[in-house]
Every structure is written in C-alpha cells, then in structure tokens.
C-alpha cells in the first residue's frame, strides 16, 4: 500500500521527524528513507533507540494517527498503480492488499479504494513482518490460492524480499528507495505501460530489469 499504491512515505517521514523533534532527537531525511517498508514495531524501536522516550505502542499510535489524518485530507494515489489496479479489478482478477500498516490508515485507504480487495493482510495480523514472507503467504491463503500462482507488486527492499520469498512472481517498482537485485525479480522504473498482457508475460517467466545497465 504505502509507496506502491499511494505515496504516503512523505507522510510517514514527516511524522517520524515530528516525533524525533519533540524529544530533541537528531533525525534526517535519510533516517526516514532507511525505514521505508519496515514493520511499524521495527520503526518504533529505531526511534526508541535514538532517544524517543515513549513506549513502543505509543509511538506506533502517534505515527498512525498523524499519517491517517493526512491521508484522509488527501489520499495520494500513484496514477500508474491506480490505473493497473482498476484494470485488473475490471478483469475480475482477485486482488489482495498486503501492508505493514495498521488500523486507521488502512481503514482510510480502504474507504477511498472501495470494494476492490478480496483479501487484506495488515501488519498487526502477522507474527513476522516484511521481509519475512508470512504476510504474502497469509494473503494467498485468504485468496484460496498458492503464493506461486500470484503476482506481487512492491516498492521497498523489505517488501520485495518478502514477496519473492513467498514464491510469488515479484515486480519491484522504484519509488523512493533503490531496489535490490534479486534473481528472478523484475525491477521497473514505474508501472506506466504495465497492463494485463504484461502481467501475463511476467507470470509466464519474463523478467525485466530497467536498472540492469546501472
């Protein structure tokens, strides 16, 4: 969700920086980037380790409250992902949302998205967050399919590793952070031009790497 379908990463980084500032903790833009795709408890623990004097649950609640409020003011859809989602849903392909976000932010997104997901897995529903494959395995189970019969789209290193480890055909789309090279994973500069035919080709074994030359 965050970073793949909607560009809430700036909201998260702003909330982290606000919390760090509240406790006079030095915090940089790069610190925020380093947490993209992390489970919320891992992000909270980093803030605690850096000097934010709150309990883990308080930090998570503070971050989610601020980000969800911003999202309800303006849901920052990424047009390329929205176009692909609309096309896939219109074709009757069941979709699952797999996110490490929880609670109010996911609720705000689902209210905005409408009835497009046949299954939803959130960060507080798994024992092991990304990069562990548990969330994707659970999503496939809720869809009633094998993970190897799924195509996953991710934008963070942790998410890419999670999806790939589950056995899903994985497309990594570059948003805010560099994407790791993982054999068999397609790395894309964007989802522009990716359609149902493209998805079928990826599922059939085609691998595309827009960053191979670099």
**Contact between residue 133 and residue 165 where contact means Cβ atoms under 8 Å apart:** yes
Which of 172, 199, 204 has its CA nearest to residue 186?
A: 172
Of the pLDDT bands very low, low, confident and very high (cuts 50, 70, 90), residue 132 is: very high
Q: Does domain 9-73 have CATH number 1.10.10?
A: no
Q: Residue ranges of the alpha helices (H) in the chain?
A: 9-22, 29-33, 40-50, 56-73, 79-90, 103-113, 134-143, 157-166, 196-203
- Homologous superfamily (CATH) of 79-203 is HAD superfamily/HAD-like (3.40.50.1000)
Q: Is the pLDDT of residue 61 over 80?
A: yes
Identify the residue whose tokens are 């920052």.
Answer: 76
Residue of 110, 94, 84 lying closest to 142 (CA atoms):
94
Q: Summarize pLDDT for 64-122 with one digit per residue, the tens.
A: 999 999 999 999 999 999 999 999 999 999 999 999 988 888 999 999 999 999 999 99
Domain edges within the chain? 9-73, 79-203
Which of the four pLDDT bands, split at 50, 70 and 90, describes residue 214?
low
- Note the pLDDT of residue 185: 98
* 104 against 44, higher pLDDT: 44
Among residues 156, 116, 115, the alpha carbon closest in space to that of 32 is found at: 156
- Asked if the model's pLDDT at residue 142 lies above 90, the reply is yes
């Amino acid at each position: 969700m965050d970073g793949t379908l909607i560009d809430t990463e700036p909201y998260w980084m702003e909330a982290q920086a606000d919390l760090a500032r509240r406790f006079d903790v030095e915090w940089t833009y790069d610190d925020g980037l380093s947490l993209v795709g992390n489970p919320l408890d891992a992000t909270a623990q980093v803030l605690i380790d850096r000097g934010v004097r709150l309990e883990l649950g308080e930090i998570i609640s503070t971050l989610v409250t601020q980000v969800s409020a911003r999202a309800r003011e303006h849901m920052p859809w990424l047009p390329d992902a929205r176009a692909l989602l609309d096309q896939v849903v219109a074709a009757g392909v069941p979709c699952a949302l797999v996110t490490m976000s929880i609670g109010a932010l996911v609720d705000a997104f689902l209210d905005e998205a409408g009835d497009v997901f046949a299954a939803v897995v959130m960060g507080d529903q798994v024992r092991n967050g990304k990069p562990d494959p548990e969330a994707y395995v659970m999503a496939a189970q809720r869809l009633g399919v094998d993970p190897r019969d799924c195509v996953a789209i991710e934008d963070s290193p942790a998410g890419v590793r999670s999806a790939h480890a589950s056995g899903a055909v994985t497309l990594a789309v570059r948003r805010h952070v560099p994407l790791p090279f993982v054999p068999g994973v397609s790395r894309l500069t964007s989802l522009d031009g990716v359609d149902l035919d493209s998805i079928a080709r990826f599922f059939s074994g085609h691998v595309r790497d827009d960053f191979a030359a670099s």
